[in-house]
Chains A and B, each alone.
Chain A
């Protein structure tokens, strides 16, 4: 039987010739990931299981990125517990301080996730690595603790929904707009339990940063995973970062998809997701007058170098609106350094931005840029749920970095071509 890329990866790791949607399988995991919020619970599970050693100290990544640099005593204790565990088990990929950045940015950047692999992470945006042609999905801490002990996990083979983007991108339209538009079309549960596969001419033309942005938000449509078949762009990205042998899989031409949705890119304008759902999207040209208190550019969705370049191009030689706070956080130390070398950070500082250390920052509303009651922000992140960035009575709008930067200048939601 013909298979999709997702089915092929799963079959390979389950050690069988064939899998079909709905099959319950047990697969070997290539990389297991947890962060400073989810690792403590996973470590507790690991200890309860009672294994002496982790299954493989090179296939586990522990990243301190959510509440770092430690924001208070309880979060410092969580990181301490994670660090102790990493030392005890000689976890090779433990990242903290100046080595750390957002987990979903630094893992691809360091060549720690590769095409054809299975990656599970105790973080819902683990689906990001699908951009590399890997099967990657978020799990809870108990699952992750069990994987750290056994190196295996049970999964139900998901059906695949294929989205084909044809035509040409309009100016100012990025991967973020494609995915926001798609979530608007499918709804927040439109891809529930499914693998969301992005394909077509437009995807072939996207840089890795845009592909990561899209796979990252598959979960926002309920997807179990997002995936893009590896091509030259993928291979060039990986070649710079890893010398490992690769498992390059692609779907069969007659593979079966649960459904195929065709989207003409020429119809997509830059999108803005209104509170309190990533599916509540409107073209930026139709948003009306929405004054802002804060703008955030960063996160695992849009904290990539290309995103910072986009924002800097808009902010070059400009000042942000009076009374507005612009927070910019590069996704990793490498991106931060490159941004300094390219003069991007200087542009941000001259415009009046605050630059944060590579971490999740205000994305989840617990640290470094929390919103007060009644405040409104536009953010390049992936979620705008009630209270996501702070007070339950605050509001979050989502957009690409160009729109976010333009909005910082005017103090209200603004299309980048108006600057």
Chain B
């Protein structure tokens, strides 16, 4: 699985209220939610993001509420993968469950800048800055999570797996 796109950079502790404020939670449609993604801190995001772009953030990304509307809004806005120094755990689960790939890398977050072109190869865990060729290698995603992604999220995983319904 490879992704390439423009980098959108965010800081530490980006919480789910910043990703999608509660006042928009009276709906659950992903594409509708995407229109308000990051509206309070980056009002230009929803309009400016292109399909395949990469979101790069600091520590504890996605902290706060369990709202799955947050990874859903990011995914539907067009983001292909999120790279952060660390993720809040419910966000981490949610992202894999809905099929939004995420990866942890201190180095890549430090090294990548806003607006540059970057590429991620999930198979070997390499993150590359296309502009200057720097490669950041990361820990591979745990096997179980890879299975989830290749199944296309938790729903398909359960449909095709050993879990008895």
Known: A49-B155, A78-B28. A143 touches B94 (CB 8 A): yes
Name the distance in Å between B159's Cβ and chain A's nearest Cβ: 6
Give the residues in chain A near B78, CB-CB below 8 Å: none
The answer, yes or no, to whether B17 is at the interface (CB within 8 Å) is yes
The answer, yes or no, to whether B13 is at the interface (CB within 8 Å) is yes
Give the residues in chain A near B67, CB-CB below 8 Å: 37-38, 140
Give the contacting residue for A387; candidates B18, B94, B98; CB below 8 A: B18
Give the residues in chain A near B75, CB-CB below 8 Å: none
Give the contacting residue for B28; candidates A40, A138, A139; CB below 8 A: A40
The answer, yes or no, to whether B2 is at the interface (CB within 8 Å) is no
Give the residues in chain A near B18, CB-CB below 8 Å: 385-387
The answer, yes or no, to whether B1 is at the interface (CB within 8 Å) is no
Q: How far is the CA of A389 from the CA of B162 in the complex (A)?
A: 43
Is B26 within 8 A of A189, CB to CB? no
The answer, yes or no, to whether B114 is at the interface (CB within 8 Å) is no
Give the contacting residue for B22; candidates A26, A122, A149, A364; CB below 8 A: A364
Known: A146-B158, A192-B89, A386-B40. A140 touches B22 (CB 8 A): no
**In this complex, what residue of A is CB-closest to B95?**
A140
Give the residues in chain B near A24, CB-CB below 8 Å: 142, 144
**In this complex, what residue of B is CB-closest to A37?**
B25
Q: Kindly identify, within residues 1 to 32 of chain A, every residue whose CB is under 8 Å from any CB belonging to chain B.
A: 24, 26
Is A124 within 8 A of B90, CB to CB? yes
Number of interface residues of B (CB under 8 A): 42
Q: Kindly identify, within residues 107 to 165 of chain B, every residue whose CB is under 8 Å from any CB belonging to chain A.
A: 142, 144, 153-155, 158-159, 163-165
Number of interface residues of A (CB under 8 A): 53
Is A392 within 8 A of B158, CB to CB? no
**In this complex, what residue of A is CB-closest to B60?**
A189
Q: How far is the CA of A154 from the CA of B143 in the complex (A)?
A: 14
- Segment from A67-75, A91-99, A236-244, A281-289 that makes contact with B: A67-75
Q: How far is the CA of A392 from the CA of B67 in the complex (A)?
A: 19
The answer, yes or no, to whether A85 is at the interface (CB within 8 Å) is no
The answer, yes or no, to whether A199 is at the interface (CB within 8 Å) is no
Known: A40-B28, A74-B26, A192-B89. A45 touches B155 (CB 8 A): yes
**In this complex, what residue of B is CB-closest to A393?**
B40
Give the residues in chain B near A123, CB-CB below 8 Å: 65-66
The answer, yes or no, to whether B63 is at the interface (CB within 8 Å) is yes
The answer, yes or no, to whether A152 is at the interface (CB within 8 Å) is yes
Q: Kindly identify, within residues 216 to 266 of chain A, every residue whose CB is under 8 Å from any CB belonging to chain B.
A: 222, 224
Give the residues in chain A near B89, CB-CB below 8 Å: 192-193, 222, 224
Q: Kindly identify, within residues 169 to 216 of chain A, every residue whose CB is under 8 Å from any CB belonging to chain B.
A: 188-189, 192-193
Is A38 within 8 A of B86, CB to CB? no
Question: What is the 8 Å Cβ interface bit string for chain B, positions 63-98, against chain A (1 contact, 0 not)?
Answer: 111111101100000000000001011100110011
Q: How far is the CA of A262 from the CA of B156 in the complex (A)?
A: 46
Is B163 within 8 A of A140, CB to CB? no
Give the residues in chain B near A45, CB-CB below 8 Å: 154-155
Known: A48-B155, A141-B68, A149-B158. A154 touches B26 (CB 8 A): no
Give the residues in chain B near A74, CB-CB below 8 Å: 26-27
Question: What is the 8 Å Cβ interface bit string for chain A, positions 135-179, against chain B (1 contact, 0 not)?
Answer: 000111111011001101010000000000000000000000000
**In this complex, what residue of B is CB-closest to A370?**
B23
The answer, yes or no, to whether A44 is at the interface (CB within 8 Å) is yes
Is B28 within 8 A of A41, CB to CB? yes
Give the contacting residue for A222; candidates B21, B63, B165; CB below 8 A: B63
- The 14 sampled A-B contact pairs (Cβ below 8 Å) are A24-B142, A41-B72, A45-B155, A49-B165, A66-B25, A74-B26, A138-B90, A139-B90, A140-B97, A189-B86, A189-B88, A192-B60, A387-B21, A392-B41
Residues of B participating in the A interface, judged by any CB pair closer than 8 Å: 13, 15, 17-18, 21-23, 25-28, 40-41, 59-60, 63-69, 71-72, 86, 88-90, 93-94, 97-98, 142, 144, 153-155, 158-159, 163-165
Residues of A participating in the B interface, judged by any CB pair closer than 8 Å: 24, 26, 37-38, 40-41, 44-45, 48-51, 66-67, 71-72, 74-75, 78, 121-124, 126, 138-143, 145-146, 149-150, 152, 154, 188-189, 192-193, 222, 224, 277, 364-366, 370, 383, 385-388, 392
The 8 closest A-B pairs by CB, nearest first: A140-B94, A74-B26, A142-B97, A392-B40, A140-B68, A364-B22, A189-B60, A75-B26
